[in-house]
Amino acid sequence: MPEPITAQPAKQRVRRSFDQAALSYDAAAAVQRTICDRLGVCLDHAGRTLQPAHILDAGCGTGYGALELRRRWPNAALTLLDFAPAMLAVARAHGHRAALLCADLEALPLAGQSCDLYWSSLAWQWNVPQRCLSEAARVLRPGGTLAIATLGADNFPELRHAFAAVDGYDHVLSITPAEQLLADCRAGGWTVRVWERQAVRRHYPDLRSLLGSVKAVGAREVEQRRPMPLSRSAWQTISARYETLREAGGLPLSYDAVWLIATR
């Protein structure tokens, strides 16, 4: 019998979720694209003229961010790295002119001081941010640029509200507070050039489509998994509680988005 997914370490479960979501990701990733696009805007606001020779897209997913990186710097050497093999397979199918690496952001298989720009959109929250920051510092050349989009701790508050009516389990991933990342950056000698944080919201017609969108982008892992499925009556309670949050556009779902541009 295969090992239950609940028995696997958290990072293995996250990798499996993203592997399973690879083919559905692009169709469901509107919020992820919005956050990635904003990272490019923040890079412009950093007030630096960049001509990177080597760019790392750390946690590249299906390669959406790589399109912008290639548009900006068509002659740069580009490395796309992700820990989910199926995501890299989709990126490869998109025809990106880049080196593809399947690896962990907390242990990059790259030489020290080998990159000029470290770019990562919505990947650090699945890892230990302090370890990601340490690896970014190691692989960036002096004067290199760090460009990060990640999530803060106040993620999916609407889901927390709805599920709180039926149990005390976490139904969204526990994430390190964004303030800790900012403090770690400053303590590590980084010059923070841009720091932004705001909710990015999307609306859905019903709870089924909302939860389906979360599953379709692989963002369904939690620290504390419920041992038994919810009953029909529990789902009815959750749905009714979520309905109290309905807005003109539908049921809201909020991502606590954070953008960071820093140099050393």
The pLDDT tens digits of the residues spanning 124-160 come to 998 999 999 999 999 999 999 999 999 998 889 998 8
Structure confidence at residue 139 (pLDDT): 98
Residues of the chain with pLDDT under 50: 1-8, 222-224
To 10 degrees, what angle do helices 207-216 and 10-28 make?
110
Instruction: 156-160: list long-range contacts, CB under 8 Å, 24+ apart.
Output: 156/214, 156/253, 156/254, 156/255, 157/254, 158/242, 158/245, 158/251, 158/252, 158/253, 158/254, 159/242, 159/253
Domain regions of the chain by residue span: 5-156+172-229+253-263
At 92 the pLDDT is 93
Position 225 scores a pLDDT of: 52
Please tell me the distance from the alpha carbon of residue 121 to that of residue 123, in angstroms, as a whole number.
6
pLDDT score at 182? 94
Please provide the average confidence, as pLDDT, over all residues in the chain: 89
Q: How far is 33 from 42, CA to CA, in rounded Å?
A: 14
**pLDDT for the residue 171:** 59
> May I ask the CATH architecture of the domain 5-156+172-229+253-263?
3-Layer(aba) Sandwich (3.40)
pLDDT at 169: 64
Structure confidence at residue 97 (pLDDT):
85
Question: What is the model's pTM?
Answer: 0.89
